[in-house]
Amino acid sequence: MEKKALVYTGKAKKLYQTENAAVLFVEYLDQATALNGQKKDKVLGKGALNNQITSLIFEHLQQQKIPNHFIKKVSEHEQLIQAVEMIPLEVVVRNYAAGSFSKRLAIEEGTKLVTPIIEFYYKEDHIQFLKVATPAEIVEIKALALQINQALSQLFQRLNICLIDFKIEIGRTKANQLLLADEISPDTCRLWDLNTNEHLDKDVYRRELGEIVPVYEEVLQRLLTAN
Ligand code: TMP
């Protein structure tokens, strides 16, 4: 499949058309950003790591019958995905307090939440006002988010990793089917080593705790040994 016109440039990836309108080419970039783009760095090897990690996770979720846009990995830093209409929502699922949740509610990071908490960035009423998603779709997105949380929590537990929280984005197919899109990687999850609570995710970059490439490599190696 050939890479054609560039259709989207994000913080960490570029999307291209292919000769098939139903398929997009994704290129993961060697770029890290934080603080709404105020902090930005070239990080050699990050694109290949996130492409491989996301590919393994999306394949695992497909085996668990969780619908997603992934088609196949075509090179170290590229993959093919199904073209979908993106729902302009960030859906965050939290199992433990951390990050903005801890800050906002003054709850110590690492505090276990009694049940997973789902947050939408848009507010739920605004979603309907703006016609971002229908009420029925919101119900479906919440169910999908919990299903993904369960599958991911179990997967990471096998890797001796605690899934603290993560962000997902959802796409809508032409047939109005909702499916998981975007990526799932240490850029979009908080992953703590189960024994040491060491951060195995982008907080290493956000909080300037060290180099991220060895940390993302560690997550990839654990995923490869689990499969
Ligand atoms: P938060 O605690 O900063 O709200 O982040 C919650 C989770 O969502 C965390 O795993 C990081 C992820 N996230 C993204 O992937 N993209 C974003 O733009 C933000 C704000 C969070």
Ligand 1 binding site (Cβ under 6 Å of any ligand atom): 92, 98-101, 165-167, 188-190
CB 176 within 8 A of CB 97: no
Which ligand 1 atom minimizes the distance to the CA of 189?
A: 10
Nearest CA to ligand 1 atom 4: 100
- Choosing from 91, 118, 188 the residue with most ligand 1 atoms within 8 A of its CB, the one to mutate for a pocket test is 188
Alpha-carbon distance of 128 to 99, in angstroms, equals 27
* Atom of ligand 1 minimally distant from the CA of 101: 2
Say whether pTM exceeds 0.85: yes
- Cβ-based neighbours of 220, under 8 Å, separated by 6 or more: 49, 52, 53, 56
Substitution site in 40, 166, 167 for ligand 1 pocket (most atoms within 8 Å of beta carbon): 167
Separation of 90 CA from ligand 1 center, angstroms? Answer: 9
Residue nearest to atom 15 of ligand 1 (CA): 188
Planar angle of CA 114, 189, 89, nearest 5 degrees: 85
* Unique residue bearing structure tokens 């003054």: 106
Euclidean distance between CA atoms 191 and 98, whole angstroms? 11
Cα-to-centroid distance, 93 and ligand 1 (Å): 9
Residue 227: per-residue pLDDT: 60
* CA of 188 relative to ligand 1 center, distance in Å: 6
Q: Are 160 and 123 in contact (CB under 8 A)?
A: no
CA dihedral of 156, 141, 100, 32, whole degrees rounded to 10:
70
The number of the ligand 1 atom at minimal distance from the alpha carbon of 190 is 10
Expressed in angstroms and rounded, the spacing between residue 166 Cα and the centre of ligand 1 is 7
Closest CA to 73 of 104, 94, 50, 105: 50
Q: 167 CA to middle of ligand 1, Å?
A: 6
The candidate with the shortest Cα–Cα distance to 222, out of 184, 190, 193, 183, is 193
Q: pLDDT averaged over consecutive 10-residue blocks of the chain (227 residues)?
A: 93 97 98 92 98 98 97 97 95 98 98 97 79 92 98 98 98 96 98 98 97 98 89
